[in-house]
Amino acid sequence: AQSVTQLGSHVSVSEGALVLLRCNYSSSVPPYLFWYVQYPNQGLQLLLKYTTGATLVKGINGFEAEFKKSETSFHLTKPSAHMSDAAEYFCAVSDLRAAGNKLTFGGGTRVLVKP
């Protein structure tokens, strides 16, 4: 069975500082990987995804993530945090053995941005 681990349920960063959110996955085959963001009282919005090709993926709002197969990781970064980045972030994997859109999510990391 696939699983996703996000290290740190809460992260506090200062405005302008680096944002680093960690995601490790467990899968028998390299999965497709996603990062979603959830703002209060809203659904999830896709930040970026890795399917094939370049392992460094750029997404919306200045975020990027790097797929490292040897480390089974897909960490999310943003060079300079903005107050609007305060939200909860979810890493997810898609099961390539089950045709369809089933996603397995990590537990989420809530980001607090301090002025």
Partner 1 sequence: KAGVTQTPRYLIKTRGQQVTLSCSPISGHRSVSWYQQTPGQGLQFLFEYFSETQRNKGNFPGRFSGRQFSNSRSEMNVSTLELGDSALYLCASSEGLAEYNEQFFGPGTRLTVL
The distance from CA 74 to its chain's CA centroid, rounded to whole angstroms, is 7
Q: What are the backbone angles phi and psi of residue 37, rounded to the nearest 5°?
A: -120, 140
* Closer residue to partner 1, CB minimum distance, 16 or 107: 107
Window 44 to 103, contacts with partner 1 (CB under 8 A): 44-46, 49, 51, 90, 92, 94-96, 98-103
**Binding residue for partner 1 (CB under 8 A) from 82, 107, 112, 114?**
107
3-state secondary structure at position 70: helix
Residue with token string 């941005």: 113
| Cβ atoms of residues 70 and 55 within 8 Å | no
- CB of 42 vs partner 1, minimal distance in Å: 6
The CA–CA distances, whole Å, from 6 to 10, 15, 109, 113 equal 10, 22, 7, 19
- CB of 19 vs partner 1, minimal distance in Å: 21
- CB of 94 vs partner 1, minimal distance in Å: 4
Residues binding partner 1 (CB under 8 A)? 32, 36, 41-46, 49, 51, 90, 92, 94-96, 98-108
